[in-house]
Amino acid sequence: MKAMQLDHPGGRFRLVDLPRPAPGPGEVLVRVQACGVCRTDLHVVDGDITDGRYPIVPGHQVVGTVADANGVEALPVGTRVGIPWLGHTCGHCRFCLQGAENLCDAAEFTGYQRNGGYAEYVVADARFCFHLPSGYDDLQVAPLLCAGLIGYRALRMAGEAPALGFYGFGNAAHILTQIARWQGRRVYAFTRDGDVDGQAFARELGAAWAGGTSESAPELLDAAILFAPAGTLVPLALTHVRKGGQVICAGIHMSDIPSFPYVDLWGERVIRSVANLTRADGVELLALAPRAGVRTAVEVFSLAETPQALDALRAGRIRGAAVVRID
């Protein structure tokens, strides 16, 4: 099978021919139709996160159909499934037992420790595959599987929060804005300074205000959700939230956070991170997205163009989400 492989951190993708994998007990073999590109892929490629297994086939917003199954009755051959970042958990550590499998001590992540979706076929633990809503084609649904899902986890962390700020208006924010609007919240979108296209895109999707990170929204925020991987945004966002408000860091990696005066944290403001996803997050988001009328904006690349898709994401040239189509 054709696959895009990364041999080591800091390397480049290579289009390789690999043997088609065989599903072990409890696993399914999935014929991949689409795989969404995520900023985490850049962190895997760059070696910003260091628990990966190399060589690896990245890609963790995988949409495909079950082609073979090994002792899995719940997912017959032909079932359309989504394979997310959380690929496997131990089931018995303190986190798994407390409903926090996203923090599992022995978790395995798709496209990082298990081969992922930039390939014609992938093997997945059947218990971690999602059924997908019918109102979306394979390309449109892919971005929901990480950008949507981990974004949704971050949104839930924000609690009621009627006034929300999104920092970095890419893949996740373009989905989350639609959900937050549907929930009746006010969305303020922060982009790189001067990114007028990104700001217009945010307004089209229902943001009440959009501007650069050096500007201030028209009101203090109840919660700021940071999708951009820039640590400088943390103290900045802290000055944009009200007393008792939260700054939620939704990315897996961020540059160092500069020091800041304690008075900016004072008033019971909170800084927290969001890590990974639970299967319950996925089930909830995939049921909610069609009800909220979420539409994803996708730019489509071929498997061989995966490096260009990542370059475009890195350069901030993607409007919405990049998705690799596997023919």
Question: Which are the contacts of 154, defined by CB distance < 8 A and separation ≥ 6?
Answer: 172, 176, 225, 248, 250, 274
Q: Which of residues 203-232 bind Zn ion (CB under 5 A)?
A: none
Distance spanning both ends of the chain, measured CA to CA: 12
119/327 Cα distance (integer angstroms): 10
**Closest separation in Å from C-beta 232 to Zn ion:** 22
DSSP string, 113-144: TB--SSBSEEEEEGGG-EE--TTS-HHHHGGG
Verify binding: residue 79, Zn ion, rule CB under 5 A: no
* Segment 136 to 155, residues that bind Zn ion, using CB under 5 A: 146
Comparing CB distances to Zn ion, the nearer of 28 and 35 is 35
Can residue 96 be called a binding residue for Zn ion (CB under 5 A)?
yes
Options 30, 35, 38, 241; binder of Zn ion; rule CB under 5 A: 38
Q: Which is nearer to Zn ion, 245 or 282 (CB)?
A: 282
User: Which of 187/252 has CB closer to Zn ion?
Assistant: 252
Q: 97: Cβ–Cβ under 8 A, 6 or more apart, which residues?
A: none
Q: Counting every residue, how long is the chain? A: 327
Which of 75, 59, 57 has its CA nearest to residue 67? 75
Q: Closest distance between Zn ion and the C-beta of residue 203, in Å?
A: 25
Among positions 5, 33, 40, 278, the unique one binding Zn ion when judged by CB under 5 A: 40
Span 104-123, contacts to Zn ion by CB under 5 A? 104
- The dihedral over CA atoms of 281, 283, 287, 292, expressed in degrees to the nearest 10, equals 10
For residues 169 and 202, is the Cβ–Cβ distance under 8 A?
Answer: yes
List the structure tokens of 215: 């500007």
Nearer to Zn ion by Cβ, of 217 and 289: the residue is 289
Q: How far is the CB of 126 from Zn ion (least distance, A)?
A: 18
Per CB under 5 A, does 323 bind Zn ion?
A: no
CB nearer to Zn ion: give 82 or 211.
82
* CB of residue 277 to Zn ion, shortest distance in Å: 9
- For Zn ion, which stretch binds (CB under 5 A), given 38-46, 157-165, 191-199, 231-239? 38-46
Name residues whose C-beta falls within 8 Å of residue 296's C-beta, 6 or more positions apart in sequence: 136, 140, 141, 142, 143, 144, 148, 174, 175, 320, 321
Number of residues that bind Zn ion (CB under 5 A): 8
Neighbour-count burial of 266, counting CB atoms closer than 10 A to its CB (0-12 exposed, 13-18 middle, 19+ buried): exposed
80-83 and 130-131 as β-strands: parallel, antiparallel, unpaired?
antiparallel
Q: 90 or 157: whose CB is closer to Zn ion?
A: 90
Q: Taking CB under 5 A as the criterion, which residues in 276-315 touch Zn ion?
A: none
93 forms part of the interface with Zn ion (CB under 5 A): yes
**For residues 85 and 136, which CB has a smaller minimum distance to Zn ion in the complex?**
85
Q: Candidates 49, 90, 271, 292: give the one binding Zn ion (CB under 5 A).
A: 90
Report, in Å, the least distance between residue 89 CB and Zn ion.
Answer: 5
The answer to whether 270 contacts Zn ion (rule: CB under 5 A) is no
Residue 56 touching Zn ion (CB under 5 A)? no
DSSP secondary structure letter of residue 21: P
What are 325's two structure tokens?
């189509």
Rule CB under 5 A: is residue 89 a binding residue for Zn ion? yes
Q: Which residues bind Zn ion (CB under 5 A)?
A: 38, 40, 89-90, 93, 96, 104, 146
